[in-house]
Chains A and B, each alone.
Chain A
Amino acid sequence: MKMSKFVLFVILFLLWLLLTWTFNYQDVTIGLILSLFIAILMGDIFTEHPGKFKDIKRYLWMIAYIPYFFWYCILANFDVAYRVLHPKMPIKPGIVKVKTNLKSDAGRTFLANSITLTPGTLSVDITDEGYLYVHWINVKTIDIEEASKEIVAKFEYFLKHIYE
């Protein structure tokens, strides 16, 4: 069995156990058969670098990233609340271009998702060269370098350790 099929099998089986949460032998058998079947069919298109799943350090960085990300998410909500409830609506929107150094698809996906859920920014599109177009509700700078430092840098450090 190939490595990527095995990784997919383990993830699917764990998800099945969490979803059923009974540990009755009938449920577990069905889950085992189904996840084996899906893993054999779909394993090749699941991931290109299955070796990354073995690295324990990536999981530790992931655990460190979750509270960091959650903190920015709460800040984003208070930012939105302030802008929405303020009578004059202090917004200054625009679409800026930022540069990311992440190379892997998964890393870029999570960067774009993190940008969307954090204060005042919403990712609109990404190019193959690593340029993101970000809608910013309060544009401070339109320079690529400075905007990258402001928006991308705080997540890039973590995501580089998790996905690269």
Chain B
Amino acid sequence: MNEIGMVLLIIGVAFDLLGCIGIVRLPDVYNRLQASTKSVTLGTWLILLGVFFISGGFTAMGIKALICIFFIVLASPTAAHALARGAHISGVKLWEKSVCDKYEEDKSK
């Protein structure tokens, strides 16, 4: 149990690290949100799953970790959506090499 949990923790932290590299490397706020949302969500899932295994399965702590996974599925994409929409409405431009922006076209109509 403990070993499975440790392996899951390490993989989770690796995915979180990828998300951080994405925030540094990618060009604009929307691309950064893409990287951070996806990697950090899966990374946090795996960390919580690791906590579930290390705490010994279905104990009070393990169950709380599983419930947190469910709430992160709901909360993390919603936060990303709110940030992206807020950034676009307050006028943050897309990267100059972006292909198209239908949202801007429809807003100015």
Query: Which residues in A have some Cβ–Cβ distance to B below 8 Å?
Result: 15, 18-22, 73-74, 76-77, 80-81, 83-85, 89, 91-97, 112-114, 116-117, 120-125, 133, 135, 137, 139, 142
Bound Cα distance from A122 to B28, whole angstroms: 14
Asked if A124 and B34 sit within 8 Å, CB to CB, the answer is: no
Asked if A133 and B34 sit within 8 Å, CB to CB, the answer is: no
Q: Name the contact of A95 in the complex, choosing from B59, B97, B103 (C-beta under 8 A).
A: B103
Identify whether the interface residues of B are mostly helix, strand, loop, or mixed.
helix
- In the assembled complex, the CB of B46 is this many whole angstroms from the nearest CB of chain A, namely 10
Asked if B78 and A113 sit within 8 Å, CB to CB, the answer is: yes
> Contacts of B39 on A, CB cut-off 8 Å?
77, 80-81
| CB neighbors of A among B38-75 (8 A) | 38-39, 41-42, 58-60, 63-64, 67, 73-74
Q: Name the contact of B77 in the complex, choosing from A96, A116, A133 (C-beta under 8 A).
A: A116
Identify whether the interface residues of A are mostly helix, strand, loop, or mixed.
mixed
> Contacts of A91 on B, CB cut-off 8 Å?
26-27, 31
> Contacts of B88 on A, CB cut-off 8 Å?
95, 124-125
A84-B18, A113-B73, A122-B33 are contacts. A96–B102 as well, Cβ < 8 Å? yes
Query: Which residues in B have some Cβ–Cβ distance to A below 8 Å?
Result: 15, 18-19, 21-22, 25-28, 30-31, 33-35, 37-39, 41-42, 58-60, 63-64, 67, 73-74, 76-78, 80-81, 84-85, 88, 94-95, 97-104, 106
Asked if A93 and B104 sit within 8 Å, CB to CB, the answer is: no
Q: Would you give 11 A-B contacts (Cβ < 8 Å), ordered by A?
A: A77-B42, A80-B34, A84-B18, A93-B99, A94-B100, A95-B30, A95-B102, A95-B103, A117-B73, A124-B88, A124-B103
Asked if B100 and A139 sit within 8 Å, CB to CB, the answer is: yes
> Contacts of A85 on B, CB cut-off 8 Å?
18, 21
